[in-house]
Structure 1
Amino acid sequence: MSTYFITGIDTNAGKTFATGLMAKYLLDKKVNVMTQKFAQTGCVGVSEDILAHRDIMGVPPYNVDKDGTTCPYVFTYPASPHLAAKIDGQEIDMNVINASTKKLQDQFETLLIEGVGGIHVPITLEYSLLDYLEETKHPLILITSSKLGSINHTLMTLELAAKRKLPIQGLIYNHYPNNSDVILKDSIEVFRTYLNKYGYNCPIVEIPEFKIGESPYVDFSPLFQI
């Protein structure tokens, strides 16, 4: 059983789309794969990110989606999980999330867990996503992009991951929004340099620009060795 945690340099980095594309890639390779959403905010019912995964994978929602296993916490207010839970009169219990993860790990060969926002999002006031990742040691797949500010956010994330001794499986570079080919090419070189600086010998996989509704083929074999 292989479990990977997909995190981003911040919100809207492209985690959901990348997770869906990776799941589709593995599914096409006959891998028994499932995706999980750590928590969903700004939504009602089944996690909208889980539904997006299924749409990209080209499959209908699974029973584990409908019964909440793939996302046990869905909050109505679009905010950090700790605040969204408070607004809805709830509190996140990590035992519930971990139990859902274990259930999925028992049923599927590969599990992709999509995070919430960036690496240091608070789950409760005293417990952050970073704490969870330090405890579980799930290999990280970090999603970054070509938008302005991404270099700063990416390098801070890499430094923080290195200090907490978090394993990184690979970095996914989302070309959207590609406003400058010069910046795009330079950013990749910067990321390679700093991955090496922090001791990460892992691949960079690029996701090209795409139109809404499209699902471009991306070769994720460097990440999964398939």
Structure 2
Amino acid sequence: MKSLFVTATDTDIGKTSVCAGIAHSLKKSGIDVGIMKPFACGVKQKTGFSSKDLSILSNAANVCDPEEFVNPFFFPIPTSPYTAAKNLGVKIDIKHVTKCFRKLNKIHDIILVEGIGGIMTPILKDYAIIDLIKDLNANTIIVTSSKMGTMNHTIMTCNMCKNMKIPVKGLIINNFDSTGYPISELERDLSVLTNLPVLCSLPHLTKFNLADFSEMITSQVDISTLIN
């Protein structure tokens, strides 16, 4: 089995929800899945993990690994890791991130890693999320949306992964914008234009429910194929 990196075409696309749904599905299938979000930015929670995303993911996978492993770098401002580190005077150590990943990999069968923003979100001057995916040697899925502009963003993301020889298992469309593309057209066109399978399309939900979200994913995707 190979770990899975959940990336996206942009920020606020629904990576955390998708990642949580997959984690829950893997756990239900009997796979010991660990979770990791190497970089998180935003408002710090008052209790539990600093990042709300980590709380969601840990609950979905039913794990309680140390925060310093699952989230090596948290920045209490909503921006890229590169900008946050510059503003706060923090030095980002990629070797430390990969070391934490290896430690988690020894504890669990696989690690489900959630990125931050899109694949070109900067971490260091010459190092972005796409470079981290390469260094972790993980399979990848790309979460995209139905909003206008998604064609451009998705095709660019897929082409970058192709150029970097990153194995992409497919696309997941998160339909949170009902004013965007019709899903049937988007599925048809993206599969042709990217030469990648559209693994599933998730409907707009007014409130996230882990069990329902997980069931929607597993009803459309053979989860085991994402980690092989």
RMSD of the alignment, in Å?
2.0
- Residues 86-136 of structure 1: CA distance to partner in whole angstroms, max 9, x if unpaired? 222201100111011001100101211000100111101121222223344
| Structure 1 residue 175 displacement after superposition | 1.6
The answer to whether residue 207 in structure 2 is matched with residue 212 in structure 1 is: yes
1:122 and 1:7 mapped to 2: Cα distance?
Answer: 14
1:192 and 1:12 mapped to 2: Cα distance?
Answer: 22
Number of residue-to-residue matches in the alignment: 217
Higher relative contact order (CA 8 A, sep 6+): 2
Aligned match of 1:75: 75
1:152 and 1:17 mapped to 2: Cα distance?
Answer: 23
Aligned match of 2:88: 88
- Please identify runs of 4+ aligned residues in structure 1 that moved more than 4 A: none
Aligned match of 2:185: 186
Aligned match of 2:4: 4
Identity %: 26
Q: How does 1:140-179 map to 2 (within 5 A)?
A: 140-179=140-179
C-alpha change, 1:222 and 1:195, in structure 2 (3 Å) is: farther
- Residues 118-160 of structure 1: CA distance to partner in whole angstroms, max 9, x if unpaired? 0111101121222223344321110011111111100111111
Secondary structure of the residue aligned to 1:142 is strand
Please, what TM-score do these two structures have when normalized by structure 2? 0.87
The question of whether the paired residues in 1 share the 8 Å contact of 2:200 and 2:221 is answered with: no
Q: Which blocks of at least 5 consecutive residues in structure 1 are unaligned?
A: none
The question of whether the paired residues in 1 share the 8 Å contact of 2:72 and 2:97 is answered with: yes
Aligned match of 1:50: 54
1:81 and 1:134 mapped to 2: Cα distance?
Answer: 18
| Structure 1 residue 211 displacement after superposition | 2.4
Secondary structure of the residue aligned to 2:155 is helix
The answer to whether residue 126 in structure 2 is matched with residue 131 in structure 1 is: no
Aligned match of 2:105: 105
The answer to whether residue 20 in structure 2 is matched with residue 16 in structure 1 is: no
| Structure 1 residue 172 displacement after superposition | 0.9
Aligned amino acid, residue 209 of structure 1: H
1:160 and 1:147 mapped to 2: Cα distance?
Answer: 21
The question of whether the paired residues in 2 share the 8 Å contact of 1:203 and 1:222 is answered with: no
Q: Which blocks of at least 5 consecutive residues in structure 2 are unaligned?
A: none
Aligned amino acid, residue 3 of structure 2: T
